[in-house]
């Protein structure tokens, strides 16, 4: 027997219960692009086709995943599209500061829905020396609450050397974003060396 119509009271009770259910999971945050992963928990795992510059700076096709960055900080940034003005500005910022990130034990990785050929052209055009990953169906972008088909949204995630998600930026403004992430990394990093006398 098919279910009868929903009463007004049942509908109102359901609407009242929704905010309460949401409050019981305060760490789960909605953003343009979906539900963001929870801070201070393991970052969502992924493996995607990638374009990585070789020793001569020439981009080559490979695959990369979260496990490839074990033991180092990871700046994982999602962006809408290669060659657009905002995405180019953001990529240039990360490229300008790339040595500063590396000196702090951090890798920078970009993800968009663009294919490998587009990434190769973008890396070559902008002289990018960090990997760009292709997520054409948005599978990984969805895991990170960063997908509004057909594009990834401009969100950035800071993942620690143990693979734990430590900071999230949503609706990023490309200008100055790299410096913002670098400053946050400096605040969160544990000094690599501690003098023997300081423990006394």
- Paired with 133 in beta bridges are 50, 111
CA distance 64 to 47: 5
C-beta neighbour count of 119 within 10 angstroms: 24
Selecting among 76, 87, 91, 159, the annotated active-site residue is 87
The helix or strand, by DSSP H or E, that contains position 85, with its residue range, turns out to be: helix 85-96
Provide the edge-to-edge strand list for the sheet that holds 59-65: 59-65, 47-53, 132-134, 106-112, 73-78, 156-159, 165-169
Catalytic status, residue 87: yes
CB 110 within 8 A of CB 132: yes
Query: Helices (H) and strands (E) in the chain — how many of each?
Result: 6, 11
CA 160/CA 166 separation, integer angstroms: 7
Catalytic residues: 87
């Amino acid at each position: 027997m098919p279910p009868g119509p929903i009463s007004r009271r049942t509908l109102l009770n359901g609407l009242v219960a929704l905010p309460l259910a949401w409050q019981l999971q305060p760490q789960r945050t909605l953003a343009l692009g979906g539900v963001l992963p929870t801070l201070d928990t393991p970052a969502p795992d992924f493996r995607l086709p990638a374009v990585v510059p070789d020793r001569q700076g020439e981009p080559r096709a490979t695959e990369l995943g979260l496990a490839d960055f074990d033991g180092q900080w990871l700046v994982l940034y999602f962006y809408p599209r290669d060659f657009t003005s905002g995405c180019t500005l953001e990529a240039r910022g990360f490229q300008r500061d790339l040595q500063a990130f590396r000196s702090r034990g951090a890798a920078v990785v970009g993800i968009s829905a663009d294919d490998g050929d587009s990434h190769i052209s973008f890396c070559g055009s902008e002289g990018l020396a960090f990997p760009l990953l292709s997520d054409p169906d948005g599978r990984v972008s969805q895991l990170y609450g960063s997908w509004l088909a057909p594009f990834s949204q401009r969100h950035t995630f800071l993942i620690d050397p143990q693979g734990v998600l430590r900071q999230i930026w949503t609706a990023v403004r490309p200008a100055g974003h790299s410096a913002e992430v670098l400053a946050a990394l400096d605040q969160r990093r544990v000094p690599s060396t501690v003098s023997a006398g300081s423990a006394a």
